A and B are shown apart, each in its own frame.
Chain A
Amino acid sequence: MAGAVIELPVAIARSGSGVRPRRTGASTVGEALRELAETEPALGAQLFAAPGRLRRSFVLLVNGVDVRNLEGERTELHEGDRLAVVAALSGG
């Protein structure tokens, strides 16, 4: 399978095993996250406020660049790309 890799922070994955990188064959950021939400509904609830509407409490990076500075959810993913989620932390 072709693929980009999705990296999740522990604040969203909620467990050490939950942060294992996931491979995705999706061609865009939005598609990759929708697929992830379907296969892992618990993660879906963390990522989406409503079906199709991503929460705005985390930053999405493709190869270290904020997708808001790219094409947002339509940012393309290619073989070897890394889609990382940086979640807001509140602890002090």
Chain B
Amino acid sequence: MTPTRRRPGGAPRLTARPSTGLPELTDEERIRYGRHLALPDVGLEGQRRLKAARALIVGTGGLGAPAALYLAAAGVGTIGLVDFDRVEASNLQRQVLFATADIGRSKLDASTERLRALNPNVTLVRHEGELDAGNILDVLASYDILLDGTDNFPSRYLINDACVRLGRPDVFGSVYRFEGQVSVFAPPAGPCYRCLFPEPPPAEAVPSCAEGGVLGLLPGVVGTIQATEALKVLLGIGSPLVGRLLLYDALEMRFRELEIRRDPDCSRCSPRHRSDPLTEVVLAPAVGDPAQDLEIGAEELDRALRGPAPPLLVDVREPGEFAEGHLDGARLIPLGELAGHADELRGAVPVVLYCQMGGRSGRGARLLRDAGLTTARSLKGGLRAYRARLPRAGGNDVRTPRGAARGRSSR
């Protein structure tokens, strides 16, 4: 262990990897990391510690992009990247890993190329696809730490649960509009995500960044704080954000800190539940929702579209999102205008609404059902889930310009 600096308050500490058997630095690395070697809290041993370290970044979007860039620059020896998405024009406002020429490419292709160019000493491991309850433990097992750069609640709960199970620190960051939250979940040193937020909000209450907007550099600030915390944990220095939720308000330019404690009855990190099997979190519908079968899954929709009576697809996102890529044959009716179209849709075959993540289309389907379209449904998990589950779904091109990216990706 490096000498540690315990703050007077006795902040919780996490143990860094032992200093024996650390890899040596090459001459090139000694020059490259010179400013780290000059830092008393890092130095040669700390830099070797980073070289030995393995960090998993889930999502290479707004949060993952800056985090990946700084961890690669800092010389974290192995960086795993998880993503299944393709670069879209509307990503470039905040996802600084990508260039304009990357539009249409797989995010993993684009990000590994960029990071390799930044620091060829770093080993990059690609995990193409979506993490689920069946694969996350296998993926996470070989890493020391995880950075959560996902953009939805089910993934965040799944990541938390896997990190608790395997005892890996979960460096959490999230953003919305002008606000960000950061913490390091690392029981038993501090609480886990479920200690803080035992339940996700209901599906309709979850605004996505596509819908609600996000200031482009907000995830930049939050993602770099996540990277800072990851480096500190890997180095075993300073006071990590364990037991603290950092709240960032970009509009007021204010950072606030919230003391957060472990919940002794936590449904995940309490001793009773620590070994519970992982399950997917499903966002509950609103209070007293009478609608049954409101959602249709990606596979079922795919079958229906190939069937004899395919449903009418309605894209309830905004025109800009629609222009970036949509399902073949879909009609654009933004959620705000849906009520005015209920009458004409009533005569149509079954209607399936979709949006990016399933939140808006869920609200839309409920609205249509209230207007008497009793078979209106919403694509569960939205276009996001459809792409993840059926990357090559026949007849439905979700990229734009149409087919431009085919053959350029390993997918």
Contacts and interface: CB of A to CB of B under 8 A. Distances in A.
B311 interface: no
A90 B258 contact: no
Interface string A13-28: 0100000000000000
B149 interface: yes
A88 interface: yes
B197 A57 contact: yes
Nearest to B204: A45
A61 B196 CA distance: 12
A12 B175 contact: no
A89 B199 contact: no
A45 B204 CA distance: 10
B316 to A, nearest CB: 17
Residue of B63, B150, B151, B196 contacting most chain A CB atoms (<10 Å): B196
B169 interface: no
Interface residues of B, number: 46
A61 B200 CA distance: 18
A87 B245 CA distance: 12
B153 interface: yes
Contacts of A64: 256, 258
B62 A88 contact: no
Contact of B150 (A14, A50, A92): A92
A92 B94 CA distance: 10
Contacts of A49: 199, 202, 284, 287
A57 to B, nearest CB: 4
Contacts of A10: 176-177, 179, 212
Contacts of B209: 91-92
B240 interface: no
Interface string B228-270: 0000000000000000010100000000101111010000000
A74 interface: no
Contact of A56 (B63, B64, B197): B197
Contact of B149 (A11, A46, A66, A92): A92
Interface in B130-183: 148-153, 156, 173-177, 179-181
B258 A45 contact: no
Given A66-B259, A68-B261, A90 B152 contact: yes
Contact of A91 (B197, B200, B208, B260): B208
B219 to A, nearest CB: 6
Interface in A40-74: 45-46, 48-50, 55-59, 61, 64-66, 68-69
A45 B286 contact: yes
Contacts of B263: 68
A12 B152 CA distance: 16
A9 interface: yes
B259 A69 contact: yes
A59 B286 contact: no
A88 B153 contact: yes
A90 B287 contact: no
A56 B214 CA distance: 24
Contacts of B381: none
B258 A56 contact: no
Contacts of B199: 49, 55-57
Contacts of A92: 59, 61-64, 148-151, 173-175, 209, 219
B286 A69 contact: no
Interface of A: 9-12, 14, 45-46, 48-50, 55-59, 61, 64-66, 68-69, 86-92
7 contacts: A55-B202, A56-B199, A57-B197, A57-B199, A66-B261, A88-B153, A92-B219
Given A66-B260, A69-B259, A87-B201, 17 more contacts: A10-B212, A50-B287, A56-B198, A56-B199, A58-B201, A59-B197, A66-B258, A66-B261, A88-B197, A88-B200, A89-B175, A89-B181, A90-B152, A90-B176, A92-B62, A92-B64, A92-B148
